[in-house]
Structure 1
Amino acid sequence: MIEQIETLATELGPVKAALFATIFTWLMTALGASLVFFFKTINRAVFDTMLGFTGGVMIAASFWSLLAPSIAHSEKMFPTMPWLPAAIGFLLGGFFIFGLDKLMPHLHINFKKEETEGVATKWHRSTLLLLAITLHNIPEGLAVGILFGAAANGMEGASISAAVALAIGIGIQNFPEGLAVAVPLRRQGVSRRKSFWYGQLSAVVEPIAGVIGAVAVIHMQNVLPYALSFAAGAMIYVVVEEVIPETQRDKYTDLATLGFMLGFVVMMILDVGLG
C-alpha cells in the first residue's frame, strides 16, 4: 500500500503530491471534527492525552523529517559547519511564528477569553479559537510541501517515502486537533453543524501552505536546508508555546506526557520505518 502511494506521489510530481498529501491531513482534521455530531463534551483526561500525542508527533517530525535531512544536505554545502543552515532556518521559523503570534488575534483552546493573544480585538471566542489552530497548522502544511519538494530535487536525506510518512503522521495528529476545536465550540452552545465547520476549517490552510512550500523549494534549490529547518523551527515553537501549556492546565499532566511520548514514538517509527 505504501509503495503504491509512493509511486503515485512520484508520478504526480512534488506540487500535486504536496497538494493531495495536505488535503489528506485536512480531511483527517475534518474526521476528528465530525465526532462533534456524536459528543458534546470530551473527558479532559482524554483531551489532554490527545494534545500531548499531537505535540509528540510534531517534535519527532521536526527532527527526523526536517532537521536531519537539512543537516545531511548541508554537509556538502558547508563541510566545516554543516549545522549552520539548520541553525539559521530553525531560528527563522521560530521567529516567523512568533511574529504571527503577536499580530494575529487568537485564543488557545483551554484559555479564558481575557487571555486572548495578538492585537486587541472584539472578535468572538469561536473565531479566536479557530485562528489559534489555523496558526498551528501553517508550519505543518509547509513541512509536508517542503519535504516533497526536497525529495523531488534529490536532496540527500529526503525522499518521497519520508514525505509520505510525514503526511501520515501529521494526518494522525490532526484528528484530535479537529476534535479539539469542534468540541469546545459545541460545549459553548454552538450548533453541531457550525462546530464541525469551524473544526475542519482550521486545517484548510494546510493545502495552501503545502503548495507554497513545494513550489518555493523547487525553484530555489539553494534554500532547501534552510526551508526544512524553517518548518522545524516553526513547529517546535508551536509545540512549546501552545500545545504543551494547554496540557498543563489541569490535573492530567502525567497522561499528557505519556501521550506526548506515544506520539513521538509513532512518528519516529513512521519516519525511520518508511523514510
Structure 2
Amino acid sequence: MFENMNPVLLALLGGTFTWGMTALGAAMVFFFKEIKPKILNLMLGFASGIMIAASFWSLLLPALEISSNDKFPWLPIIVGFGLGGLFLFAADKLFPHIHHVEDDAKNLKGNKNLRRSILLITAITLHNIPEGLSFGVAFGTAGSSSEATVASAIILAIGIGLQNFPEGAAVSIPLRRDGASRLKSFMYGQASGLVEPIAAVLGAWLASSVGSLLPYALSFAAGAMIFVVVEELIPESQTDAHLYGHTASMGAMLGFMLMTFMDIALG
C-alpha cells in the first residue's frame, strides 16, 4: 500500500502522526492538573527504552546492512553516529537544557510562567528534532536494501509516536500546575511536537536525494537519538529515584521490549 508512495510524503504523514500523539498527550491537561513523579519517571523510562531500541533495530542495523559490501563497513556507522551526537551537543550549547529549565525559571524576573514556558518549549523542540530526522531518514532510505523497508520506517514512526504521548503530558501538565490555563498549557504542549514533521520531511528528502550517504544518515539519526536519551531522558527519569525505586528502569525495559517486538515481529 505504501511502497510506491513518495518517501517525503510518507515522512510528512509520519510526522503528522507523531505530532498528533504529542497533542493527545498534551490533552491530558484537560483531565489532570498534576502528574505524580513516579508516573512521570515511568513514562520517561518507557520513552528511553523505545528510543534505544529504535536506534538499533530501525537505524543502525539497516545502516550496517547497506554498507556491508564496503571495504570498511563500520566506517559509516561510527562516523554517522558520532556526528549525530556532536550535532546535538552543539545544539545543546545554543538552546536551554531540559533539566535546567526549572532552575533557570527560578532566576527569571517578570512573567515567570511565560518565560518558563518559552524555555520549556524550546528545550523540548530541540529534543524532538532528532526524532523527526530519524524516521524521516528511515522513509528516505526505504527500499535501498532488504533491511531498510517502508514497514520498518512505519514501525519507527509508531514507536516514536508512542513515546511522544507521555512527552506531551510532561509539558502541558507542569505548565498547568504552575498556573497557566488548561488551553494555554495544551497549546504549548502540542506545539512542542510541531518540529517533528518538518525534521522528518527534511530527513526524507536528504536521504532519498543523496544515495551514497544513506548509511551515514541512518547512523547520524541514531547518534542524535541516543544522545537525547543519555543527556535528557535518563537523567530526568531518575528524579527522586531513591523514593521510587526502579520505576524508570522498569519503564525502559518495557519500552525496549515493546519496540523490539514491533520492529521484529511486525516490521
1:41 paired residue among 11, 34, 47: 34
Aligned residues: 259
Shift of 1:218: 1.1
Secondary structure of the residue that 1:108 maps to in structure 2? helix
Secondary structure of the residue that 1:77 maps to in structure 2? coil
Question: Structure 2 vs 1, CA of residues 253 and 15 (structure 1 numbering), >3 Å: closer, same or farther?
Answer: farther
* Structure 2 partner of 1:221: 211
Do structure 1's residue 193 and structure 2's residue 176 form an aligned pair? no
Contact 1:48 1:253 (C-alpha < 8 Å) held by counterparts: no
Amino acid aligned to 2:18: T
* Structure 2 partner of 1:241: 231
* Structure 1 partner of 2:260: 268
* Structure 2 partner of 1:32: 25
> How many Å separate the matches in 1 of 2:100 and 2:246?
19
Shift of 1:115: 8.8
Do structure 1's residue 75 and structure 2's residue 68 form an aligned pair? yes
Amino acid aligned to 2:137: I
Contact 1:89 1:227 (C-alpha < 8 Å) held by counterparts: yes
What's the TM-score once normalised by structure 2's chain length?
0.93
* Structure 2 partner of 1:174: 164
Question: Structure 2 vs 1, CA of residues 54 and 69 (structure 1 numbering), >3 Å: closer, same or farther?
Answer: same
Contact 2:98 2:232 (C-alpha < 8 Å) held by counterparts: no
Do structure 1's residue 22 and structure 2's residue 15 form an aligned pair? yes
> How many Å separate the matches in 1 of 2:78 and 2:146?
18
CA RMSD for the aligned pairs?
1.6
Identity %: 56
Structure 1: gaps spanning 5 or more residues: 1-6, 117-122
> How many Å separate the matches in 2 of 1:234 and 1:91?
8
What's the TM-score once normalised by structure 1's chain length?
0.90
1:97 paired residue among 88, 104, 115: 88
> How many Å separate the matches in 2 of 1:55 and 1:172?
11
Amino acid aligned to 2:220: F
Amino acid aligned to 1:22: G
CA offsets 1:61-110 (integer angstroms, 9 cap, x no match): 000000011111111123xx211101000000000000000011344388
Amino acid aligned to 1:267: M
Q: Which runs of 4+ in 1 moved over 2 A?
A: 9-12, 105-116
